[in-house]
Structure 1
């Protein structure tokens, strides 16, 4: 295995960079069309389970995702071949979006029911949905945030790639930028996923991070990679 840029990863990176830069240069906002919205939001479309994987909110966001795709995806594409890697990447990314949506639906409906119990009507609640507002009522804030905040990024797919890398190269040494001590992938990757689970289930998350999309991509990636590894699939 070497770190030479492979074909599929090269094209994925190019597409991501184009989708990130061109709208900025042309002053186009494609968020309503391409980002993944809550299913009850008027801007939701089924194609967004694919297109959100090519949208990024900032330069650091796309930089870290594309670095992860290259660093961990390269040996997988070299080992599996392009067809299997394409199937794996999009399965992890779409699966991440679906699991993220399911978790959001549960959280949305739970908070919505609380507001109804407190005396609000459905129409009253929906009239308050506004992405620019922050509410003091925690249930209303939860409903508003889930309804109006779209998800973007390849992180779910990249987490799937990361988990698959860990299954096949468990003794490879990895290091975090803020903790530059090399740690074997078999320890490093579970810690990252447990961190996402902790931050996703508590209020300690920093920033607008879709932790359950990460977990979803990791889960789908694990299932596929584990199955392939046990059944010794060969490159296509």
Structure 2
């Protein structure tokens, strides 16, 4: 059905094989963690691209690879396509990590301040400003803590709750080839803008350039306004597209024109 090129075939096999040997320990070690996490390792900028959190996550990314990747590899050749794929994936991870750091630094500072001086007032303030969605879950504890502010049991309990919340945030790894795949989609749209693609939902034809515009606009909107619970790394998708655009424009500027 698809005429797979060598690098696309290799990437497909690697991702599928890694998926079947992946467990929680592998994701924890090789998934991309926050800069603020003790589990962060620079090699995760590369390794996270070959891990996936579920079959549908893997399937959607690999469909994107086999649909859009071969034409790019035929156009550029295996070496340049491989570089492009990895460049987009790592660039996506860098943008995601930067945004994550920006979003989490206030939480980090609030946790640090609370650890230095734990009081019922600061505990209440933390869950009204930094973790308001969880306030109802700790409301009963807060009431007891306020009644016994110097009780070591409540002080220690509050520290455990704060630390657990913080670690759940910064130790949650990001995995998947989505950043690289969105880079591939952007590359396809830039090189073959008027190629018509037939969508499944809705079942209509659409030119590649319009598909790229739609994807980019949707991911930007979702990244800025999304609910935190959707668990999708929208800024990784945006990063993949952005770094693809930059690299392709740079390659284009290096061409020699002869008259």
Q: CA deviation at 1:110?
A: 3.4
Runs of 4 or more above 3 Å deviation:
110-113, 121-124, 135-138, 140-146, 203-206, 229-233
1:181 maps to what in 2?
204
Cα contact 1:8–1:86 (8 A) shared by 2: yes
Question: What whole-Å deviation, never above 9, does each CA across 1:100-151 have from its counterpart, x for those lacking one?
Answer: 00000111113445x379x734686xxxxxxxxxx96462379555412110
Gaps of at least 5 residues in structure 1 are: 125-134
* Counterparts of 1:13 and 1:156, CA distance in 2: 15
1:20 maps to what in 2?
19
TM-score, with length taken from structure 2: 0.75
Match status 1:5 vs 2:4: yes
Cα contact 2:39–2:171 (8 A) shared by 1: no
Cα contact 1:3–1:75 (8 A) shared by 2: no
Residue in structure 2 matching 1:87, options 83, 102, 115: 83
Residue in structure 2 matching 1:139, options 130, 133, 142: 130
Cα contact 1:38–1:150 (8 A) shared by 2: yes
Residue in structure 2 matching 1:107, options 99, 103, 107: 103
1:190 maps to what in 2?
213
TM-score, with length taken from structure 1: 0.82
Gaps of at least 5 residues in structure 2 are: 119-125, 134-164
2:239 maps to what in 1?
216
* Counterparts of 1:34 and 1:83, CA distance in 2: 25
Question: What whole-Å deviation, never above 9, does each CA across 1:155-185 have from its counterpart, x for those lacking one?
Answer: 0001111001000110112344332222111
Query: CA 1:190 to 1:143, structure 2 compared with 1: closer, same or farther past 3 Å?
Result: farther
Count matched residues. 217
* RMSD of Structure 2 on Structure 1 (CA): 2.6
Question: What whole-Å deviation, never above 9, does each CA across 1:50-109 have from its counterpart, x for those lacking one?
Answer: 000000011111111011011111000001000000110000000100110000011111
Larger radius of gyration: 2
Cα contact 1:108–1:143 (8 A) shared by 2: no
Q: CA deviation at 1:207?
A: 2.6
Secondary structure, aligned partner of 1:15? helix
Q: Which moved more, 1:142-151 or 1:178-187?
A: 142-151
Secondary structure, aligned partner of 2:32? coil
